Structure 1
Amino acid sequence: MQSSNRTNYLIITVIVTWLFFVIAGFIYFQVGQLKAFDSTKMLIKNSWFHNFKQQLIWKNKEVASLILVTEQSCGCFKQAKSHISSLTTLAKTKGLDVVQLQLTQELKAVVPATPAAIIIDKNGDFVYVGPLSEGLACAQGSGFVEAVINNLVAGYNSKLLITDTKGCYCVNKV
């Protein structure tokens, strides 16, 4: 009888140990995906917005614009596709022009990571720059952009700059 208790204890110990290592490995690899959106502080430089608009050859459109900068080969872009689709629909419904840009060498100099969103109001002024959202999946529901769009439509320009957040981002190296 005592041997049976020892065997049960050993089996439970092995299972608990295995479970611990599985959970620890999962957490380690998931947290490893979290990257800072703007670790180089590119977006807080005085001339950032001016330089960004020059890359676009910006012309005031008399309508606010949501600019989405993505990179096809970025795994985070693949995770964010449904969020991008949702943002595009929301922006168009609210009367914003939507511009989708693929990351180029020139844009790498002014966009620290992708996927990124920039909102410019109808006067060509900065409203928002930063990631689509934060967290591991950078998915719908954890986004900043929706709130900024709704505030802009209500007449409030938040001039929101998000640099210090972590999520699933592909960091751009110039």
Structure 2
Amino acid sequence: MRSLNNKQCVIIAVVIVWLALTVTGLVYFQLGQLSPFDPYKVLNKPGWFNNFKQLIEYPQNKFATLIIVTDPDCGCTKQADPHLKQLIRFSSEHNIAVIKIEQSQTLQTLVPATPAAVVLDEEGQFVYAGPLSEGLGCAQGRGFVETVITNLVAGFNSKLLLNDTKGCYCTDKVKD
């Protein structure tokens, strides 16, 4: 068996240190992208759901409805675009009406981060409010909304308020 000389040991050590620094930097910067969806618990405020419906002038349409709130200037919305398209297709296949709304300063007082979703049943009752999904890959895989829609179609209203999660979300730090 050949033994390593000093030059080879130095090269191996440099490669290992470089690899460790690269992985550490990647993890550090990726975790920096994670932000809380609702750090000020805006969605927990009394009357939130009724205020939301009034603000968007929700049309009572006798269909279960998915309302998607996005900010076109948000990098997270751009990253989630494939997921948004898949979600719209999924909703349509399950006879769920889809309303897309762009985030505004007024709406930010009720929807703390984007991309976000609110699901209502056919009677306009609360089913879900929160992000599309969580984690670094918010744009990938099945998210919370698909599960909620599947349950709603099966006759189960989860009444799920999910605001204590982290992911790629754009916020304006609204504290109202």
CA distance in 2: counterparts of 1:96 and 1:159, whole angstroms: 16
CA distance in 2: counterparts of 1:27 and 1:111, whole angstroms: 29
Q: Residue in 1 aligned with 2:45?
A: 45
Per-residue deviation, 1:113: 0.3
Q: Deviations over 1:33-62 (max 9, x none)?
A: 001111111111111111111111123111
Q: Judge conservation of contact 1:69–1:116 (CA < 8 Å) in 2.
A: yes
CA distance in 2: counterparts of 1:68 and 1:57, whole angstroms: 14
CA distance in 2: counterparts of 1:156 and 1:60, whole angstroms: 20
Q: Residue in 1 aligned with 2:131?
A: 131
Q: How does 1:53-72 map to 2 (within 5 A)?
A: 53-72=53-72
- Tell me if 1:89 matches 2:89: yes
Per-residue deviation, 1:77: 0.5
Moved over 2 A (4+): none
Q: Which amino acid aligns with 2:65?
A: S
Secondary structure of 2:61 counterpart: coil
Secondary structure of 2:80 counterpart: helix
Q: Deviations over 1:19-45 (max 9, x none)?
A: 111000000000000011111111111
Q: Residue in 2 aligned with 1:10?
A: 10
Q: Judge conservation of contact 1:63–1:97 (CA < 8 Å) in 2.
A: yes
TM-score, structure 2 length as denominator? 0.94
Q: Deviations over 1:62-112 (max 9, x none)?
A: 111100000001000111001000110111111111000011111111001
Q: Residue in 1 aligned with 2:108?
A: 108
Per-residue deviation, 1:171: 1.2
Q: How many residues align?
A: 171
Q: Which amino acid aligns with 2:88?
A: T
Q: Which amino acid aligns with 1:53?
A: K
Secondary structure of 2:5 counterpart: helix
Q: Residue in 2 aligned with 1:145?
A: 145
Percent of aligned pairs sharing the same letter = 51
Per-residue deviation, 1:142: 4.2
Secondary structure of 1:100 counterpart: strand
Per-residue deviation, 1:122: 1.1
Q: What is the Cα-based RMSD across aligned positions, in Å?
A: 1.1
Secondary structure of 1:67 counterpart: strand
Q: Residue in 1 aligned with 2:119?
A: 119
In structure 1, the gaps of 5 or more residues are none
